[in-house]
Structure 1
């Protein structure tokens, strides 16, 4: 199984990936140093100056002129991205803020449906998407799970890595220990994610081995999937490992969920960029490498307890 962004489908996120109806009124925006509302101005001054930013000149002219990179996200995926006090916070916004200092621009986050993010980048609504989106060949080439061409595809600038985790009710009442234990059981997942595709593949493995197929319940957002597991309607849910661990630690004071120890098939998360915008893509790669080198990247991961996802250098389309 691969990760969410694993929260997004090919047509949209990981992941990857693959943003549903989030329980937040309206679109929420976050700049590299403050929040913003759709159509409105920044609520705070830029945290960086273009004349001091080492990579400003690498950016496309339109972004240099606007001083803004518009980012699509699905802000319900703590610790990667979530809403707190009306602001989008987490690993991805903080990494973006660090990138902004290198590039001399503000990253403005808008939260929306996960399964629309890739399309929104291709149509120009966002310059990039950054939402724990798993980088894979399917998304790079714009294919569905059967190999049919759906769209142009996108490029990824990889900045993090995560494996997939299975989470269950606290105490693991059904005794789930491996993926095979899910055969014949109901499993909850966010719609349009690579998790959903992975569960479909696991279901075929079950039937091929003479066991019952999985019953996969797909929900518009991950919160609904969690609720289904909490109520006992599903024996397990599937999520990115750092997200599942954070959720288990916080939900019900740590008394609602637990995460199975094994991670499955770690895969890179990438910043999604339109294939035609190679200049922006390459500038982002340089910026990711720069924040890894100066230590600000590691500080962000340590702040959110996400050190396990650290990479040593950025990559373009490193997913398989």
Structure 2
């Protein structure tokens, strides 16, 4: 994605990052778990994959010894981002958990998801609290280099194993009363975005662009969860919420039975989502890349995406640090 995109969770400008739970929170059809909640034991459907036969999995030997011994890859996520990752009861489900389930069959270990606040996920890697972050996070140079939104060094950075592509989605009220077709149409209006995502940075960038172009000022509010941003749009306190395209599309399809929102996609700014790994853990990074290539080849990757109507984000091969 370009510097004007998101979550970035996000786009290329995300500090980054595509919520069924968030959407359902707005729609009231499903229980929303707050981003800040810490959910222990919320595993992918592949829990227990390793068992006594774990070492027989095709790529088990590629994993670091400590993970082989534990039989678990600890995953940090923000499970409020349907259809990518969200909660159904106490279980975390979605595109990312299903891809992880396919990866687990190649690697012979369980992927154990724990939900937390998005903008704190990367800090869990160097401490060892999690082994990877898999949370619709956009692969950006800034994240690779450990830079904050001001370009200041905040850490050693991470490596990404890229597994999906998404573009910016603009979520507006049903009927698009403001006639929004692009980011430029947001000048003179107010946005709602999730804090710590690339879309928060995208809002800042677009506000600067509006000013540079001599257009009315764009303003925005940042919220801890995307569900709060959606609520603001629905209530009329903001004209749009920026999001990843598959997430915005899912929200538009599900919130209020499809009667609350519309989604506008900007396909020209597509960028990679990546699995984040501490830069020191190159063995795990390389094992994940090999496993991802294997599930792309055997078709289980496509099955995971198609289950959630996310096939448009498929990539032909895994990449390392393909973001910019």
* Same-fold status (TM-score > 0.5): yes
- Number of equivalent positions: 307
* Contact preservation (8 Å) 1:56, 1:102: yes
CA distance in 2, matches of 1:51, 1:61: 11
Pick from 15, 18, 22 the counterpart of residue 17 of structure 2.
15
* Contact preservation (8 Å) 2:74, 2:130: yes
CA distance in 2, matches of 1:300, 1:261: 22
* Contact preservation (8 Å) 2:11, 2:168: no
Pick from 3, 6, 15 the counterpart of residue 3 of structure 1.
6
Q: Map Cα deviations across residues 155-199 of structure 1 (whole Å, 9 max, x no partner).
A: 000011100111100011112122111111110000011111111
* Contact preservation (8 Å) 1:13, 1:116: no
Do the aligned partners of residues 13 and 180 (structure 1) sit closer, same or farther apart at CA in structure 2, a change above 3 Å counting?
Answer: closer
Q: Map Cα deviations across residues 274-293 of structure 1 (whole Å, 9 max, x no partner).
A: 00000000000000000000
* Bigger mean CA offset, 24-33 vs 57-66: 24-33
CA distance in 2, matches of 1:7, 1:312: 21
SS of residue in 2 equivalent to 1:143:
coil
Match of 1:107 in 2: 111
For the pair 1:202 / 2:214, whether they are aligned, the reply is: no
Do the aligned partners of residues 172 and 28 (structure 1) sit closer, same or farther apart at CA in structure 2, a change above 3 Å counting?
Answer: farther
Pick from 186, 189, 192 the counterpart of residue 182 of structure 1.
186
Alignment RMSD (CA, Å): 2.2
* Contact preservation (8 Å) 2:36, 2:115: no
CA distance in 2, matches of 1:54, 1:238: 40
Stretches (4+) displaced over 4 A:
7-10, 23-26
For the pair 1:63 / 2:63, whether they are aligned, the reply is: no
Match of 1:191 in 2: 195
Pick from 226, 237, 242 the counterpart of residue 238 of structure 1.
242
* Contact preservation (8 Å) 1:13, 1:193: yes
Q: Map Cα deviations across residues 59-107 of structure 1 (whole Å, 9 max, x no partner).
A: 0000000000000000000000000122000000000010000000000
1:25 Cα offset (Å): 6.0
CA distance in 2, matches of 1:24, 1:117: 11
* Contact preservation (8 Å) 2:42, 2:113: yes
Match of 2:131 in 1: 127
* Contact preservation (8 Å) 1:7, 1:190: no
Q: Map Cα deviations across residues 190-214 of structure 1 (whole Å, 9 max, x no partner).
A: 0011111111111111001111221
Match of 1:141 in 2: 145
* Contact preservation (8 Å) 1:185, 1:234: yes
Pick from 207, 221, 224 the counterpart of residue 220 of structure 1.
224
Unaligned segments of structure 2, at least 5 residues: 19-32
SS of residue in 1 equivalent to 2:54:
coil
CA distance in 2, matches of 1:260, 1:137: 26
CA distance in 1, matches of 2:212, 2:189: 16
For the pair 1:53 / 2:57, whether they are aligned, the reply is: yes
SS of residue in 2 equivalent to 1:171:
coil
* Contact preservation (8 Å) 1:3, 1:162: no
* Contact preservation (8 Å) 1:158, 1:315: yes
Q: Report the TM-score when normalising by structure 2.
A: 0.90
Do the aligned partners of residues 223 and 71 (structure 1) sit closer, same or farther apart at CA in structure 2, a change above 3 Å counting?
Answer: same
Unaligned segments of structure 1, at least 5 residues: 35-43
1:264 Cα offset (Å): 4.7
Do the aligned partners of residues 24 and 83 (structure 1) sit closer, same or farther apart at CA in structure 2, a change above 3 Å counting?
Answer: farther
CA distance in 2, matches of 1:159, 1:23: 23
SS of residue in 2 equivalent to 1:51:
helix
Match of 2:263 in 1: 259
CA distance in 2, matches of 1:180, 1:24: 33
Match of 2:30 in 1: none
* Contact preservation (8 Å) 2:73, 2:110: yes
CA distance in 2, matches of 1:9, 1:261: 15
Q: Report the TM-score when normalising by structure 1.
A: 0.91
Match of 2:100 in 1: 96
